[in-house]
Structure 1
Amino acid sequence: MLAVTGVSRSFGGVYAVRDVSLDVAEGEVCAVIGPNGAGKSTLFNLVTGHLAADHGEIAFLGRRVERLAPHRRARLGMSIVFQGARVFRGMTVRENVMVGMHGRTRSGFVSAALRLPRHRREEREIGREADAALARVGLTEWSGRPADRLPIGQQRALQLARALCARPRLLLLDEPASGLRGHERERLAALVEELRADGLTILLIEHDVGFVTRLADRVVVLDLGQVIAEGPPAEIREDPLVLAAYLGPAS
């Protein structure tokens, strides 16, 4: 579903990502891990289109996308849950989730302004899907509250609900467990497991090895901008290069 081939990106002559290649198969949960400064966030932004690669290719569903803007990649079926809280202030939780379906609407400005029947039908459909997404992530009771007043755990769940409303082919998660408390992390992990069971393809960027081991089918490890290991979670946990990257070389 996703093929990253020989991708590099430098800043001021220093490579953040250098000649990185990885594939994500349909229905797979692929995790990219690495210590701080490994290049995970840069790689994530290259895949989503928020950064342009200096070299290399990115293909999604067999189509080259490295020159496409983020919103065009989203229309092809990529949905993103960012690490930081990204909510629309002044809007309710439900309204925030409804925004996730904007790329699937067909009514134009005139239809919306005149409240034509087609627009009203779409609006009802969007509302039903938003309610279903909120129920799935456990936010039904929060739906009418201002989104920017939610605790961080609920804001992360809101972003996930909004991403799911777009009916993605590929869900991109950028350190989703960052800043969450124990029960919030457990709830998030359970949600990701449910999505995997439903067959959704997921690319997970994370630094927490324990969180990744539970969820991922395959793990790609970055260090200093390059891939140093790839394989099933059990193998990655025992890989000497991975241990050295996280813990430092043995004396």
Structure 2
Amino acid sequence: MSIGEGGLPLLEIDGVSRSFGGVRATDDVRLTVADGELRGVIGPNGAGKSTLFSLVSGHLTPSAGTITLDGTRIDRLPPHRRAELGVAIVFQGARLFPGLSVLENVAVGAHARTRSGIAAAILRTAGHRREEREIFADARDALERVGLGEWVDAEAGGLPLGQQRRVQLARALVARPRLLLLDEPASGLRSTERRAFEDLVRELHADGVTVLLIEHDVGLVMRLADRITVLDLGRVIADGTPDAIRADPRVIEAYLGTGDHHAAHP
């Protein structure tokens, strides 16, 4: 049994639709992610993957349906409230603060769990200083975890893309997420960087991190995911283990039978 199978649901997407000018980018999508699971979402261009990601992250709201995290509805909450509830995001673009160090970029990820208010920060109270020390210690630990422990003082904007993606991942981890959202994390990476990032995600999953991975690289998803959901034209056309997805005739017709077919094999 893979991690998450038979576990309690952490994320539930129930009948979620989102329309743009009368066109449904997602159409009655239903998806459950168990606690500790790595769930992959794949589909051809225009399938609705990016829209679904934005609906879960809070950058879009559904036209219909609900999204719950551990039983709490989040579909009407802004992104910062979802972050406070434990949703952390690694976007396709780097989204780093180029003028800050690697360590400072990662420490920013802890804002969702800070307890000191703005007044405490301005006044530099003892409680704020203690919390700040804890945050930077956690940021160093997160950087060690992603293999960047020696880069804490480097300027983040000067790093290669593969390392910038790791900085993003460390920033997400320092928030101690309940759910880690990965949006096309392999996009733009060279083959060696892609393999290294894949290994890192596999390690985090083995440590019990719950992951929703939305990715165009079918082979990467097939190798990493416990279960895979396939979208086509905004609708779920298949849902199951990697082996079941490979053999599903609807998936082969809609996606794997295209020029991407070669990517389906690890």
Range into which the TM-score falls when normalised by the shorter chain: over 0.9
1:213 aligns with 2:228: no
1:124 aligns with 2:151: no
**Distance across 1 between alignment mates of 2:117 and 2:88:** 23
1:147 aligns with 2:156: yes
Partner of 2:231: 222
Partner of 1:182: 191
AA aligned to 1:179 is G
Tell me by how many angstroms 1:116 deviates.
2.2
Tell me by how many angstroms 1:120 deviates.
1.6
**Distance across 2 between alignment mates of 1:148 and 1:60:** 33
**Distance across 1 between alignment mates of 2:144 and 2:222:** 27
1:43 aligns with 2:46: no
CA contact (8 A) 2:58 2:75 kept: yes
Partner of 1:14: 23
AA aligned to 1:229 is A
Aligned length in residues? 249
Q: SS of the counterpart of 2:204?
A: helix
Partner of 2:261: none
Tell me by how many angstroms 1:82 deviates.
0.5
Q: SS of the counterpart of 2:32?
A: strand
Percent of pairs with identical residues = 65
Tell me by how many angstroms 1:202 deviates.
0.6
CA contact (8 A) 2:182 2:212 kept: yes
1:191 to 200, 205, 209: 200
1:82 aligns with 2:91: yes
AA aligned to 1:146 is E
1:238 to 243, 247, 250: 247
Q: Deviations over 1:171-220 (max 9, x none)?
A: 01011111111111111111111111111111110121110111100000
**Distance across 2 between alignment mates of 1:11 and 1:88:** 32
Q: SS of the counterpart of 1:101?
A: helix
RMSD, aligned α-carbons = 1.3
Q: SS of the counterpart of 1:53?
A: coil
Runs of 5+ consecutive residues of structure 1 not aligned to the other structure: none
4+ residue runs over 4 A deviation: none
**Distance across 1 between alignment mates of 2:216 and 2:70:** 27
**Distance across 2 between alignment mates of 1:111 and 1:17:** 43
CA contact (8 A) 2:98 2:158 kept: no
Partner of 1:102: 111
**Distance across 1 between alignment mates of 2:118 and 2:66:** 36
TM-score, with normalisation over the residues of structure 2? 0.91
- Greater relative contact order structure (CA < 8 Å, 6+ sep): 1
